[in-house]
Amino acid sequence: MTWLNKKESAAMRNSGVLMHISSLPSPYGIGTLGKAARDFVDFLEAAGQTFWQTLPICPTSYGDSPYQSCSTYAGNPYFIDLDLLREEGLLEKEDYEGISWEIRTDQVDYGILYRERFDVLGKAARRFRHRIRESGHTGDGISTLKEAYETFCRENGFWLDDFALFMTIKNLNGGKAWTEWDSALRNREKEALELVRARQEGEIAFWKILQFFFFRQWKALHNYCAGKNIRIIGDMPFYVALDSVDVWARPDLFLLDEERIPIEVAGVPPDGFSETGQLWGNPVYRWEEHKKTGYSWWIQKIGYLCREYDILRIDHFRGFDSYYTVKYGSEDARGGAWRPGPGYALFEALKKSRGDLPIIAEDLGYTTESVRKLLKDTGFPGMKILQFGFDERDEGSSDHLPHQYPVHCVAYTGTHDNDTLCGWLEHADPGDVACARDYLRLEGAKEPHWDMIKALYATAAETVIVQTQDLLGLDSESRMNTPSTMGGNWCWRLCQGDLNKELAEKLRHITSLYDRMNRS
């Protein structure tokens, strides 16, 4: 199984850049799907790149993490471009240009977005509803828009209806988690849900319209990428958040008690990186229930995401082999246990239903022979992280040394959970840094981060992905996320003009030098 086109050689070399949509420059507080996104695609094209890798594009909730979303399927309303809505006549400049969207241009302020964004989007949604109510004969522009909206709602009803209802009830409850709702709503009693649908038709429509706005803009951006021969690598978290429509709508698929409270939750055991491990808190799956359905929930989800992206990275892939759980209510991740996952049976069912899908397996962390076998059986490329090759705390560090990389893998300077290269050189264990400097011949280097990028490009790995922060030589203040910490994460943003012509030419030279130019 390969995620390269059949016409392409399995040994074809290529490269790309990792940057989340939230990190794009914008005068309105956060990156969006508009002009700045297209400018970034133009930069990638000029630099000879093949891939744009993003983080999950779903809505964020508590902690602002895209890996803790209220929905697997929905798009993040913050990414809806306001200027594009204005061009469609759904907003006026004065609706949003007078708002103070940010305190710092290089940081997302999620508090401001939460307070201000939905009021602006509400104005656009009301104008949209008025417009389609006034639609005339079939074939005029408004009727075409109405038909597009109705088609969207119909084709996505399998997730959209529950999502809009979930968000409506959540707002009626002041944003409380669904586990704190009235029992009739928490347990999805039919009469209670029908009453909400009857009384809150406008609010339910609002959430559907926002998703229509998002995916209309997303599709346009995706098409723009295709026109520039840039492919999007998306991301799918292994777990879903407890406070999500995914769990509320299908509690039978998760390890919950009779009150729909988790029995066990996910995490990572103590290791060289953390004495107490990582307590993620996500509900874990009832794999026996998934097996009974032929893994239909997974097949639908993975198939959907592979349609929205060109290639799908699956986070925490090792969880399909075995996963670590601790008792719900634990203070940390000590004292947990490993549980068996579904193994290859899930991917066998996926392949039978959807054929060969373009997937990257995030196989980082504690790996075993059974995890390696599962990766081999699926045929998916795994991941290598340059920084990990020099980290003595990681038992598998030698696998991440550049001379060990197989052809069939995706190699990174770092992921969203890593420090930047410059930050790592400054703050990592001195012994690890000394090893890296010796191995990579960095002594006396004026721009050591570029020498590290070159070393990655020179490897046998068929695909190399570099963080935008590393292209810019930024320090630790610009890292995207520090695991097991709260506050200050997921906020980093580009400033206007950071990705200039000179940087594109420099990256293009390296890309050509190491035979990774986009050949599409």
Q: Where are the domains of the chain?
A: 250-378
Q: Is 157 exposed, middle or buried (0-12, 13-18, 19+ CB in 10 A)?
A: exposed
Residue 78 sits at φ, ψ, to 5 deg, of -60, -25
pTM of the entire predicted model: 0.95
Establish whether 315 is a catalytic residue: yes
Q: b vs e for 406-434, b when ≥16 Cβ sit within 10 Å of the residue's Cβ?
A: eebbbbbbbbbbbbbbbbbbeebeeebbe
Nearest CA to 263 out of 188, 184, 336 is that of 336
Whether the CB-CB separation of 277 and 269 falls below 8 Å is answered with: yes
Question: Which DSSP string do the residues of 180-246 spell out, in sequence order?
Answer: GS-HHHHTT-HHHHHHHHHH-HHHHHHHHHHHHHHHHHHHHHHHHHHHTT-EEEEEE-SS--SSSHH
Q: Which residues pair with 236 in a beta bridge?
A: 314
For CA atoms 472, 477, 483, 489, the dihedral sign is negative
Token pair for 285:
């799956």
DSSP designation for 420: P
Please state, in angstroms and rounded to a whole number, the distance separating the CA atoms of residues 12 and 20: 25
- Give the pLDDT score at 394: 65
User: SS3 sequence, 217-235?
Assistant: HHHHHHHHHHHCCCEEEEE
Establish whether 362 is a catalytic residue: yes
- Give the pLDDT score at 265: 97
Length of the chain: 520
- Give the pLDDT score at 250: 98
- Give the pLDDT score at 397: 74
Establish whether 447 is a catalytic residue: no
Q: Is 343 exposed, middle or buried (0-12, 13-18, 19+ CB in 10 A)?
A: middle
The catalytic residue among 83, 235, 315, 462 is: 315
User: SS3 sequence, 431-446?
Assistant: HHHHHHHHHCCCCCCC
Q: Report the half-sphere exposure of 268 (CA within 13 A, side-chain side).
A: 16
pLDDT tens per residue, the chain (520 residues)?
344 543 444 458 999 999 999 999 999 999 999 999 999 999 999 999 999 999 999 999 888 999 999 999 999 999 999 999 999 999 999 999 999 999 899 999 999 999 999 999 999 999 999 999 876 555 556 678 999 999 999 999 999 999 999 999 999 999 999 999 999 999 999 999 999 999 999 999 999 999 999 999 999 999 999 999 999 999 999 999 999 999 999 999 999 999 999 999 999 999 877 889 999 999 999 999 999 999 999 999 999 999 999 999 999 999 999 999 999 999 999 999 999 999 999 999 999 999 999 999 999 987 899 999 999 999 999 999 999 999 887 666 789 999 999 999 999 999 999 999 999 999 999 999 999 999 999 999 999 999 999 999 999 999 999 999 999 999 999 999 998 888 889 999 999 999 999 999 999 999 999 999 998 7
- What lies within 8 Å, CB to CB, of 222 at 6+ separation is 232, 308
The catalytic residue among 362, 391, 462, 470 is: 362
CB atoms within 10 A of CB 199: 12
Helices (H) and strands (E) in the chain, counts: 18, 12
Please state, in angstroms and rounded to a whole number, the distance separating the CA atoms of residues 73 and 163: 9
Whether the CB-CB separation of 51 and 467 falls below 8 Å is answered with: no
